[in-house]
Amino acid sequence: MLNYRHLHYFWVVVQEGGFARAAERLDMAVQTISAQVRELEKSLGHQLLKPAGRGVAMTEAGQAAYARAEEIFQLGRALNDEVREAASGNAARFAVGLTDGISKLAVHAILTSVLDTPSLRLLCHEGDAEELLAELAHHHLDLVLSSQPAPHNSNLRLSSERLVASPIDWYGPSAIVRKTHVDHFPQSLASLPVLLPTGHSSLRSRLDRWFEAEGIRPRMAGEFEDSALMALFAARGMGVFPLAAFGAERDDPLHRGLRWLGRSSDVKEEIHAIVSRRGRHHPLTQKVLASALS
Residue finishing a domain among 41, 61, 87: 87
Same domain, 143 and 281: yes
Domain extent, residue 206, equals: 164-270
Same domain, 183 and 232: yes
Same domain, 111 and 74: no
* pLDDT tens sequence across 180-226: 999 999 999 999 999 999 887 888 999 999 999 999 999 999 999 88
Average pLDDT value for the chain: 87
Same domain, 198 and 266: yes
Residue finishing a domain among 57, 87, 117: 87
Number of helices (H) and strands (E), helices first, in the chain?
A: 11, 10
Backbone CA torsion sign across 117, 122, 124, 130: negative
* pLDDT tens sequence across 16-39: 999 999 999 999 999 999 999 999
Same domain, 104 and 237: no
Kindly list the distances between the CA atom of residue 235 and the CA atoms of 147, 165, 223, in Å, as whole numbers in the listed order: 25, 25, 15
How many angstroms separate the CA atoms of 209 and 183, rounded?
A: 22
Domain harbouring 21, CATH code: 1.10.10.10
* pLDDT tens sequence across 55-72: 899 999 999 999 999 888
- One DSSP character per residue, 137-163 reads HTTS-SEEEESSPPPS-TTTTEEEEEE
Q: Please state the pTM of the whole predicted model.
A: 0.62
- In this prediction, residues 122-136 reach a mean pLDDT of 88
User: Coil, helix or strand for 59?
Assistant: coil
Residue finishing a domain among 36, 67, 87: 87
Residue of 140, 144, 133 lying closest to 93 (CA atoms)? 140
Domain harbouring 289, CATH code: 3.40.190.10
Q: What is the pLDDT of residue 225?
A: 83
Domain count of the fold of the chain: 3
Q: First vs last Cα of the chain: how many Å apart?
A: 51
Same domain, 150 and 277: yes
